[in-house]
Structure 1
Amino acid sequence: MTLTAEEKSKLIAKAASDKKALDIVIMNMHDLTTTTDYFVVCSATSSTQIRAIADNIEEEMSNAGEEFLHKEGYRNAEWILLDFGNCIVHVFTEEARRFYGLESLWGEAPIEHYED
């Protein structure tokens, strides 16, 4: 069974929440870019936690039959990007998240704050 983009975004957000990710948001990018339908953005307090969040997302998505297409930033773990096609995950340190400001950069995107 293939998940819809919205279902993927919710599963990703839950997997991040399970590892205590901070300020999880789901950004609907459908009308703003042709590269993806959703960004899932979250923060963590350490590189160890960032890796744990990314690892859990990979595992939960794999269990659902969804494999990532591309991964960046795992070694430095200040910003890990996981590309699941129609959902792209950004796991940041709090400092890197403020610096890059994806929510501001894509300010027109409808944002849903994830609450577990």
Structure 2
Amino acid sequence: MTLQPGTEQLVAEVAAAASDALAEDIVGIDVTGVLPFSDAFVIVTADNPRHLRGVRSAVQDEVHAALGRSPRVEGDENSDWLLLDYGDVVVHIFLPEARDYYALDSLWGRSPRVFLNLAAKIN
């Protein structure tokens, strides 16, 4: 499957915002046709709780500025995993231990990865 252009743009905006906020291990996964509620996941890691909140804010602000979209947020300020639900794209922001524990990368290992051109953002 391939992502629709609007979904692809949202994934790109989310990944760029997360990268700008210095999130690590940014992965896009195409779950089109596999899940009825989403077309893609973006999974990222933040170093600590403060960084997790910063990544969340950066993604929300940049996506809203670029596309006028706001997510439904799951998790609270003290969580080790925040979820931003944009409908067609779900963003998972983890602390390292939680990412290792839930292992979404492995769980969706057979789903195609989405190419994220983050090199263009590094100067």
Runs (4+) of structure 1 exceeding 4 A deviation are none
Q: Matched residues in 1 for 2:50 and 2:97: separation?
A: 15
Scaled by the length of structure 2, the TM-score of the pair is: 0.86
SS in 2 for 1:80: strand
Report what 1:56 is aligned to.
Answer: 58
C-alpha RMSD over aligned residues: 1.4
* Stretch moving more, 19-28 or 101-110: 101-110
Report what 1:22 is aligned to.
Answer: 24
Task: Please state how far the C-alpha of 1:113 moved relative to its aligned partner.
Answer: 5.9
Q: Matched residues in 2 for 1:112 and 1:35: separation?
A: 18
The answer on 1:38 being equivalent to 2:40 is yes
SS in 1 for 2:78: coil
Amino acid at match of 2:47: T
Residues matched between the structures, number: 113
Report what 1:74 is aligned to.
Answer: 76
Q: Matched residues in 2 for 1:81 and 1:93: separation?
A: 12
Scaled by the length of structure 1, the TM-score of the pair is: 0.91
Q: Matched residues in 1 for 2:88 and 2:57: separation?
A: 19
Structure 1 pair 35–84 and aligned structure 2 pair: CA distance change class (3 A): same
The answer on 1:65 being equivalent to 2:40 is no
Where structure 2 has 5 or more consecutive residues not aligned to the other structure, the ranges are none
Q: Which has the higher strand share?
A: 1
Q: Matched residues in 2 for 1:4 and 1:94: separation?
A: 30
SS in 1 for 2:17: helix
